Copies of this chain bind each other. A is one copy, B any other.
Amino acid sequence: MEKIFYTRTGKMALGSRLRMLSSLFTEEAEKIYEQNRIPVRAKWFPVFYMLSQNEEKTITEIAQEIGHSQPSVSRIIREMTAKGLITENKKSGDKRQNRVALSAKGKTLVPRVLEQCADVHNAVEELIREATHDLWEAIEEWEFLLEQQPLSRRVLQQKKIRESSQVRIVNYEPKYKTVFRTLNEAWISQYFEMEAADIRALNHPDKYILNKGGHILVALYEEQPVGVCALIKMDDPDYDYEMAKMAVAPEAQGKNIGKLLADAIIHKAKVLGASRLYLESNTRLKAAINLYYKLGFKKLNNRPSPYKRANIQMALDL
């Protein structure tokens, strides 16, 4: 492969580089058996090795132990049988099983294969010593890291980071009045029903939110308003503000906008000197509840609410 291609596509090429390196190894392995005149195919090795550990085994056992699929082992056994390395069907009780073992001819090859195996081991170890970056350790580590969190998840996170950087949170202006109403109407009427308190607040945000000492923030993605959230002054002496009326346009979801809005609202509350935030929601809104937990909100016990849909209430100490 052209080196140029790698450097131009960046780390995206890691997959194909791995493929190339692994196919190089496969080819070389085949050559090694040839040069030692061992009549065993390189790809038989795992099966051969398991059987060299003297006991007879079933196809499925071998497959599990070497991490191949059962049909793959099935075929390798067929090929090895054709070359006379395997005695098949040493039937035990279970007639479904194909208990296989190395034939006499197969057994005579064992020491040579194991010697060669040791040579390969040493050659690889020497390569590792020669290199400054330990490929073996690196693979082990990557297997672990990718098991912790698969590449696809990691890429998704990168996407969110990238898209977050294209989001701007701005203060409410009269031109966002419609957006504030429609975005909220959308999710409320999708999951629940619009209530009197909703209609009041959404139709007259100045009167019911802003003029009472509240605030509204708007999220812009590519300069278009796609999310809103309100910080409403409360009368309750225990709480300073309520975080409410958070809505993100469906087409802009998955871009971390909810989180960015909430962060901005919390920051705003702190700047305003608040020490405790309140919110109410409904457990059907899984993603939202999840976000609130991540922000540090804690569930609290019933407090009267003007909304029928509220079945969970949470608070955050700033």
Contacts and interface: CB of A to CB of B under 8 A. Distances in A.
Given A141-B131, A159-B36, A45 B12 contact: yes
A119 B299 CA distance: 36
Given A123-B151, A157-B123, A162-B119, A25 B36 contact: no
Contacts of A18: 18, 21-22, 25, 139
Contacts of A11: 120-121, 124-125, 128, 136
**Main SS at interface, chain A:** helix
A97 to B, nearest CB: 20
A151 B45 CA distance: 17
Nearest to A18: B22
A159 B115 CA distance: 8
A111 interface: no
Q: How large is the interface on A (under 10, 10 to 19, 20 to 34, 35 or more residues)?
A: 35 or more
Contacts of A65: 2, 4-5
B135 A138 contact: yes
A131 B123 contact: no
Contact of A158 (B5, B119, B143, B159): B119
Interface stretch (A26-34, A73-81, A88-96): A26-34
Interface in A142-179: 142-143, 145-146, 150-152, 154-159, 161-162
A66 B19 CA distance: 14
Contacts of A151: 24-25, 28-29, 32, 120, 123-124, 127
A141 B135 CA distance: 9
Given A130-B145, A138-B134, A142-B127, A22 B12 contact: no
Contact of A121 (B10, B31, B122, B126): B10
Contact of A152 (B14, B17, B32, B124): B32
**Assembly stoichiometry (copies):** 2
Given A25-B15, A66-B2, A145 B131 contact: yes
Contact of A14 (B46, B122, B131, B136): B136
Contacts of A16: 46, 67
A54 to B, nearest CB: 14
A303 interface: no
A2 B116 CA distance: 22
A134 B1 CA distance: 21
A15 B132 CA distance: 19
A65 to B, nearest CB: 5
A232 to B, nearest CB: 36
Cβ-closest 4 pairs across A and B: A1-B67, A15-B25, A18-B22, A11-B124
